[in-house]
């Protein structure tokens, strides 16, 4: 068996032109599939950035909310009622909204303002400069140092700006787990200051962040919140809800799906045709092996080995190329959103296996039909 596989390998790599064409076709297809799905995964991660960054166990919101950016205000009684639910360790309000700030040079910049509960500051970011207690000082804001940070003029501690004719001061610079999707900087402040600085409708609570006493209390909390006419979701459920919105209710998901299928078709057509041509050109060798007593299952094994070896090699090269280009893109474009996940790799692997299976099927069928007599007669 080892000798058969060694012979199959030599037949494959000795025809350098065909072998290279096979690798290029599969590598290019894998590159496109990984790139498309990585871009989509990056978009979904950025879309849920606020959920990751605040890290609440349970989120309470209006049932009409589809994404974390499209907040719908809730009345204050929702917060009071939530705090009275059995199994709730604590519940705090959070504000999330857009605003326009005027920088020191007179230019304007759109920002996202997150207002944290004044008492607990639940969901506060990790500071790299400044002190968290300074957020309680007059006009105090914390800025997130992410790819959008330079849009605020690379502020430092003490930098001033205007927000709706109110003075703001940077008292801290912080990191968060994930940057936002829409390319705007993020400022954190207290909940009351956010309401004071930004014009708001009648209801001002964007979300209620809940910490249950134990995970077993979450189903009861959900039922009680639903009785109030609102929706309670765990951190992961909220992320899934946001992902489902971008997958099925926007054009992003369908466009990525079409591009991925096109990449699969390109890889299948190139590798399938090239591998079939390779088999045809080596038909005499397979016929000679058959005449020498090689069994049909050994010939099938040779074809499967050649197709699998080529597919897996192309799979690795495609992933490497995609990872390299994403890394280079992020060095030049810090807000580039693509991210390679295990799901992306698994999807591409399944598609590569399908390409190898279909390619080898036609090769096996051709090899099994040959007769040694026909080969030697020619």
Q: Give the distance from CA 262 to its chain's centroid.
A: 20
Residue among 121, 52, 85, 68 at smallest CA distance from 212: 85
Distance, CA of 247 to CA of 332 (rounded, Å): 28
- Give the count of alpha carbons within 13 A of 222, CB side only: 12
Residues 168 and 292 in one domain: no
Can you tell me the mean pLDDT for 110-117? Answer: 94
Q: Is residue 124 part of a domain?
A: yes
Q: Which of 109-123, 202-216, 340-354 has the lowest average pLDDT?
A: 340-354
Render pLDDT for 118-158 as a digit per residue (tens, 0 to 9): 999 999 999 999 999 999 988 999 999 988 899 999 999 99
Same domain, 275 and 223: no
Same domain, 207 and 297: no
Lowest mean pLDDT among 51-55, 187-191, 211-215: 51-55
> What confidence tens digit (pLDDT) does each residue in 238-289 have?
999 998 888 888 777 788 878 878 877 877 777 777 777 777 777 777 777 7
Total domains present in the chain = 2
pLDDT score for 371: 67
Q: Within this chain, do residues 283 and 330 fall inside the same structural domain, yes or no?
A: yes
> Do 169 and 277 belong together in one domain?
no
- 218 shares a domain with 95: yes
Work out whether strand 231-234 and strand 58-61 pair parallel, antiparallel, or are unpaired: antiparallel
Residue 245 lies in a domain: no
d(CA 103, CA 109): 7
Domain match, 317 and 273 both: yes
Within this chain, do residues 209 and 305 fall inside the same structural domain, yes or no?
no
109 and 152 fall within a common domain: yes
Q: What does pLDDT average to over the chain?
A: 86
Residue 219 has pLDDT above 90, yes or no: yes
Among 197, 229, 261, residue at a domain's last position:
229
Residue 2 has pLDDT above 80, yes or no: no
Residue 58, domain member (yes or no): no
Q: Is residue 67 part of a domain?
A: no
Residue 15 lies in a domain: yes
Instruction: Please check whether residues 275 and 204 belong to one and the same domain.
Output: no
Q: Give start and end residues of each alpha helix (H) in 55-155.
A: 76-83
* pLDDT at residue 367 in the model: 74
On whether residue 235 sits in a domain, the answer given is no
Closest by CA position to 137, among listed 95, 114, 167: 167
Residues 221 and 89 in one domain: yes
Percentage of residues of the chain with pLDDT beyond 70: 97
pLDDT of residue 246: 86
Q: Which domain holds residue 94?
A: 75-229
Q: Is residue 51 part of a domain?
A: no
Q: How confident is the model at residue 375 (pLDDT cuts 50, 70, 90)?
A: low
What are the pLDDT digits (tens) for 349-367?
A: 888 888 888 877 877 777 7
Tell me, yes or no, whether 283 lies in a domain. Answer: yes
Q: Average of pLDDT values for 183-210?
A: 91
96 and 221 assigned to the same domain: yes
Residue 227 has pLDDT above 70, yes or no: yes
């Amino acid at each position: 068996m080892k000798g058969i596989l060694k012979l199959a390998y030599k037949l494959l790599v000795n025809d350098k032109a065909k072998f290279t064409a096979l690798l290029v076709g599969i590598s290019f297809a894998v590159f496109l599939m990984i790139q498309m799905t990585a871009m989509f995964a990056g978009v979904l991660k950025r879309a849920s950035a606020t959920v990751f960054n605040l890290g609440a166990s349970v989120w309470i919101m209006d049932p009409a909310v589809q994404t974390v950016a499209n907040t719908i205000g809730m009345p204050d009684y929702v917060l009071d009622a939530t705090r009275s639910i059995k199994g709730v360790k604590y519940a705090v309000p959070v504000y999330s909204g857009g605003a326009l700030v005027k920088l020191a040079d007179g230019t304007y910049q759109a920002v996202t303002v997150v207002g944290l509960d004044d008492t607990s500051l639940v969901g506060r970011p990790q500071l790299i400069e400044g002190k968290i207690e300074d957020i309680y000082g007059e006009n105090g804001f914390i800025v997130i140092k992410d790819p959008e940070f330079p849009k605020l003029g690379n502020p430092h501690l003490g930098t001033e700006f205007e927000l709706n004719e109110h003075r703001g001061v940077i008292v801290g610079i912080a990191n968060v787990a994930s940057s936002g999707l829409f390319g705007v900087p993020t400022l954190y402040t207290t909940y009351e200051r956010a309401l004071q600085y930004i014009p708001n409708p009648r209801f001002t609570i964007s979300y209620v962040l809940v910490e249950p006493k134990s995970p077993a209390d979450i189903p009861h909390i959900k039922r009680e919140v639903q009785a109030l006419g609102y929706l309670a979701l765990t951190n992961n459920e909220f992320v899934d809800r946001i992902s489902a919105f971008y997958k099925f209710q926007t054009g992003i998901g369908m466009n990525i799906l079409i591009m991925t299928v096109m990449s699969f078709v390109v890889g299948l057509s190139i590798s399938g045709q090239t591998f079939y041509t390779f088999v045809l050109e080596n038909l005499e060798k397979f016929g000679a092996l058959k005449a020498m007593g090689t069994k049909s299952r050994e010939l099938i094994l040779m074809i499967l080995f050649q197709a699998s070896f080529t597919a897996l090699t192309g799979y690795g090269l495609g992933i490497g190329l995609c990872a390299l280009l994403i890394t280079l893109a992020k060095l030049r474009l810090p807000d580039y959103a693509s991210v390679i996940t295990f799901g992306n790799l698994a999807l591409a692997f399944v598609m590569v296996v399908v390409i190898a299976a279909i390619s080898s099927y036609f090769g096996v069928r051709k090899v099994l039909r040959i007769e040694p007599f026909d080969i030697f007669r020619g």
